[in-house]
């Protein structure tokens, strides 16, 4: 009985082949070098390509090593890179929603605001980049806690302070909020952190579908909600923005 | 980008840039509906020479226009006008009858006309035409490039004098082709592009005959100089057939327009590989005694032209790239902020990136880059901080020169370009300028400016006030640095600048 998996061995051989000698190889070169049928080689190459380990040159059809291999050893996402990628999408979200936009990442026991776009009116606003928000009560924090296990354990261990009468502080209550967040794919905060303020947020994923941050809009509760419900057009705009940033980071459609 | 757009109508803007051509479709609120972009080849025939294949560029322009229109899911009926913005000064001569370029376009960065410019300066030097044109005799500008082509392409001078050859910067080339090319294409340029040729008189906005004869350039090759916002003609064919071509602005002037700097004293700064700062100086050209350029900002229809002072910084974003590619201290440009943020200050280090000499306001080609103030205490993080501060201090020097020349104090700086995503840099900029730094909500101010000008020309927007109403503040940084710290740091920076000078001793 074989103790190893043949297709993985073949894939490894292909990567070694592409790493040495000529940088780009055609399908038939690869197949003949490894003594494989073209169809078999193609199937393995296509899988490697989907994972980003191999790239195919559009013009020549030849294969080369993919950028994903370089990223394997160096996998964290710089928050300033995240901001640079998110810039155009968050500007557009602020414009279409008419509300201010925040981009947050997990930092220690809270949400670090790494990007902030002003509400597009002429009012005086102060840039809040560098500010911290709580994990358990804000829309950004709930999204991070729902999707990132590290954020979840931070929020679970922290003292969940009641900022308003609506803040959910019990562990069971918090878990059901996170279940809801995961089920619908977005999180919210209606006067649970600040009186009169409501937010909607959605998760940003990287190319390996790891949650790397959350993006959301924040505004006066009477604008963000309509007839007691969060406005569905705002929810859609926030989710579109999160998907667009995720796509820019290389995440596939989900 | 996604939902919630009105159904039109729209304005399309073409940005024929140095590395790529782009087309962006905007709606009435100035929001981006779709974008398409394609890079073109950079051709380096010899050290210091840079060329573009103008045929490739025109093909790319057609492709990105079709791409942007199809991504927006609209047709020519939804597009009210096309605006053009372009890399400035890049020079092309082509055959009027066939539409064939007679040579690759000579790109603004190309330095082949250095010696010619010295020769043209005669006993006066590089300011020989400054009073008329607002520019020093330098290899960037189009006039000497035309002269080089006439002197070096066989038989070209005779054909040019016979009226068979047309000159244009990239705006002229794109407009001529859009409006029919050899079949009735209009041969025009706008005042902003013409103001970068060294051939236009800034005061009457016409070609200067004395300069033409000094440079031995036949007037027959020159396009008609028109306003930045007016209908030049209609698109002959392609997906936008029948749509008016209604604006042209050099890229930096387009950004000034897109940032809605319509009042005297308003300024914008675009932070890319290098940086370009333009300040609106109203309806009079201001002479610079501090090494800035005087240029036309824009002209709308029959209105008076609006002038600008321009200062450029050669090395800003490219210094961050240098830290990434040559020094290997960071993996991505954005990481410079991470590294720089890990320390509180520059640790006493100052980095003057005079890689190819000092530009405005010094203009010293004998200078070379320096990192000053090094001690054992200094880490790579301090150097990263010094890298960001270098961009800020160089901006401060340009702003100071503008204040001296124009007598107008800067009230706020509007910024755009890739480096505006660097929060620490923007805060540092505000600190050293002691003025608010403001980022608008649409980062694509160059295309937006061209779209605005085209929209004004066809009545899509009624006036500049309507455009101002579209302008949205996305972020604002306000000064936090104590005045005595700022003064001390500026003094140290100026000391470091002094250390760069005189490094090159007589290159001959």
Edge-first strand order for the sheet with B229-234 is: B32-39, B20-26, B10-16, B79-86, B244-250, B229-234
CB-based contact A78 B335, cutoff 8 Å: yes
Residue B35's CATH number: 3.30.420.40
Mutate to test the interface with B, among A83, A84, A114, A212 (most CBs of B within 10 A): A84
Q: What is the pLDDT of residue B372?
A: 97
Evaluate whether B47 touches B212 at the Cβ level (below 8 Å): no
Residue A22 and residue B298: Cα distance in Å, rounded? 53
Residue A233 at interface with chain B, using a CB cutoff of 8 Å: yes
In-domain check, residue B151: yes
Q: What is the pLDDT of residue B274?
A: 84
Tell me which residue range forms the domain holding B98.
10-252
In-domain check, residue B351: no
In-domain check, residue B367: no
In-domain check, residue B83: yes
Residue A216 and residue B107: Cα distance in Å, rounded? 44
Mutate to test the interface with B, among A91, A94, A105, A113 (most CBs of B within 10 A): A91
- Residues of chain B positioned with their CB less than 8 A from the CB of A237: 2-4
Place of tokens 């005079």: B354
First to last CA, chain A: 38
Q: What is the pLDDT of residue A150?
A: 86
Residue-wise DSSP of A95-114: HHH-SEEEEEEEETTEEEEE
Residue B45 and residue B155: Cα distance in Å, rounded? 21
Residue-wise DSSP of B268-320: EEEESSSEEEEEEEETSPPPPSSSPEEEEEE-BTTSPPEEEEEEEES-SHHHH
What domains does chain A contain, in order, with CATH numbers?
6-65 (1.10.10.10), 73-249 (3.30.450.40)
In-domain check, residue B225: yes
First to last CA, chain B: 55
- Sequence-distant (6+) residues with CB within 8 A of B207 are B194, B199, B200, B201, B219, B222, B225
Mutate to test the interface with B, among A73, A76, A80 (most CBs of B within 10 A): A80
In-domain check, residue B485: no
CB-based contact B472 A125, cutoff 8 Å: no
- Residues of chain A positioned with their CB less than 8 A from the CB of B4: 96, 233, 237
Q: State how far Cα B288 lies from the chain centre.
A: 19
Whether the ipTM is more than 0.90: the answer is no
Tokens at residue B361, please? 């306001």
Q: What is the pLDDT of residue A249?
A: 83
Q: Which residues of chain B have pLDDT under 70?
A: 1-6, 506-508
Q: What is the pLDDT of residue B188?
A: 97
In-domain check, residue B238: yes
Nearest to B363 by CA among B506, B508, B215, B497: B497
Tokens at residue A78, please? 């710089």
Q: What is the pLDDT of residue B1?
A: 43
Q: State how far Cα B57 lies from the chain centre.
A: 18
Mean pLDDT of successive 10-residue stretches along chain A, which has 254 residues: 82 86 81 92 93 85 79 65 90 93 92 94 89 95 93 89 93 94 96 96 87 95 92 96 88 53
Q: What is the pLDDT of residue B307?
A: 96
In-domain check, residue B115: yes
Q: State how far Cα A104 lies from the chain centre.
A: 11
**A132, β-bridge pairs:** A112
Residue A149 and residue B304: Cα distance in Å, rounded? 63
Q: State how far Cα B366 lies from the chain centre.
A: 25
- Between positions 334 and 353 of B, the ones with CB within 8 A of A are 334-338
The count of domains in chain B is 1
CB-based contact A79 B338, cutoff 8 Å: yes
């Amino acid at each position: 009985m074989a103790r190893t998996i043949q297709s993985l061995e073949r894939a490894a051989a292909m990567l070694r082949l592409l790493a040495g000698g000529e940088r780009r190889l055609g399908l038939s070169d690869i197949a003949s070098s490894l003594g494989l049928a073209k169809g078999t080689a193609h199937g393995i190459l296509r899988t490697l390509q989907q994972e980003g380990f191999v790239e195919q040159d559009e013009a020549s059809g030849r294969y080369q090593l993919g950028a994903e291999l370089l990223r394997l050893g160096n996998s964290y996402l710089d928050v300033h890179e995240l901001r640079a990628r998110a810039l155009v999408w968050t500007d557009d979200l602020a414009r279409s929603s008419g509300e201010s936009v925040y981009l947050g990442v997990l930092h220690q026991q809270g949400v670090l605001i790494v990007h902030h776009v002003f509400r597009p009116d002429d009012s005086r606003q102060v840039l809040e980049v560098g500010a911290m928000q709580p994990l358990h009560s804000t829309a950004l924090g709930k999204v991070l806690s729902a999707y990132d296990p590290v954020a979840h354990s931070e929020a679970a261990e922290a003292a969940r302070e009641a900022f308003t009468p609506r803040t959910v502080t019990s562990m069971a209550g918090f878990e059901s909020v996170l279940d809801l967040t995961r089920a619908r794919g977005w999180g919210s905060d209606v006067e649970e952190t600040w009186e009169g303020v409501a937010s909607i947020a959605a998760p940003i994923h990287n190319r390996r579908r790891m949650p790397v941050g959350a993006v959301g809009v924040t505004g006066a509760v009477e604008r963000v909600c309509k007839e007691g419900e969060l406005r569905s057009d705002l929810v859609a705009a926030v989710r579109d923005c999160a998907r667009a940033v995720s796509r820019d980071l290389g995440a596939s459609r989900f | 980008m996604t939902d919630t757009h009105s159904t039109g109508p729209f304005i399309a803007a073409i940005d024929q840039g140095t590395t790529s051509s782009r087309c962006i479709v905007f709606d009435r609120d100035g929001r981006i509906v779709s974008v398409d972009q394609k890079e073109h080849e950079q051709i380096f025939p010899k050290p210091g020479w840079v060329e573009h294949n103008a045929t490739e560029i025109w093909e790319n322009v057609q492709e990105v226009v079709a791409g942007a229109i199809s991504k927006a899911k609209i047709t020519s009926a939804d597009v009210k006008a096309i605006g053009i913005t372009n890399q400035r000064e890049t020079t092309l001569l082509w055959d009027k009858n066939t539409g064939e370029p007679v040579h690759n376009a000579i790109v603004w960065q190309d330095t082949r006309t250095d010696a010619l410019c010295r020769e043209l300066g005669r006993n006066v030097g590089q300011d020989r035409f400054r009073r008329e044109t607002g520019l020093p005799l330098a290899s960037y500008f189009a006039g000497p490039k035309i002269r080089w082509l006439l002197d070096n392409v066989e038989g070209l001078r005779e054909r040019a004098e016979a009226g068979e050859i047309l000159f244009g910067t990239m705006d002229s080339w794109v407009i001529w082709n859009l409006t029919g090319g050899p079949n009735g294409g209009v041969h025009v340029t706008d005042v902003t592009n013409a103001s970068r040729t060294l051939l236009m008189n800034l005061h009457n906005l016409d070609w200067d005959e004395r300069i033409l004869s000094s440079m031995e350039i036949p007037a027959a090759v020159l396009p008609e100089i028109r306003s930045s916002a007016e209908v030049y003609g209609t698109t002959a064919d392609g997906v936008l057939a029948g749509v008016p071509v209604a604006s042209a602005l050099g890229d930096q002037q387009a950004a000034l327009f897109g940032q809605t700097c319509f009042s005297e004293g308003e300024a914008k700064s675009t932070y890319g590989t290098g940086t370009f700062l333009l300040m609106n100086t109203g309806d009079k050209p201001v002479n610079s005694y501090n090494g800035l350029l005087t240029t036309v900002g824009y002209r709308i229809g029959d209105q008076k032209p609006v002038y600008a002072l321009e200062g450029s910084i050669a090395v800003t974003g490219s210094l961050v790239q240098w830290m990434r590619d040559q020094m290997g201290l960071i993996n991505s440009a954005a990481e410079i902020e991470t590294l720089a943020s890990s320390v509180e200050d520059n640790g006493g280090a100052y980095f003057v990136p005079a890689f190819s000499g000092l530009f405005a306001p010094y203009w010293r080609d004998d200078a070379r880059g320096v990192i000053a103030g090094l001690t054992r205490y200094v880490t790579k993080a301090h150097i990263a901080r010094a890298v960001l501060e270098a961009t800020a201090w160089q901006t401060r020097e340009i702003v100071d020169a503008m204040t001296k020349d124009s007598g107008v104090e800067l009230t706020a700086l509007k910024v755009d370009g890739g480096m505006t995503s660097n929060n620490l840099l923007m805060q540092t900029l505000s600190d050293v300028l002691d003025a608010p730094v403001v980022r608008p909500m649409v980062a694509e101010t160059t295309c937006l400016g061209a779209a605005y000008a085209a929209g004004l020309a066809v009545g899509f927007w009624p006036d500049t006030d309507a455009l101002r109403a579209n302008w949205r503040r996305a972020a604002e940084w306000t000064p936090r640095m104590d005045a005595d710290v700022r003064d001390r740091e500026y003094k140290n920076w100026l000391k470091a600048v002094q250390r760069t000078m005189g490094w090159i001793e007589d290159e001959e």
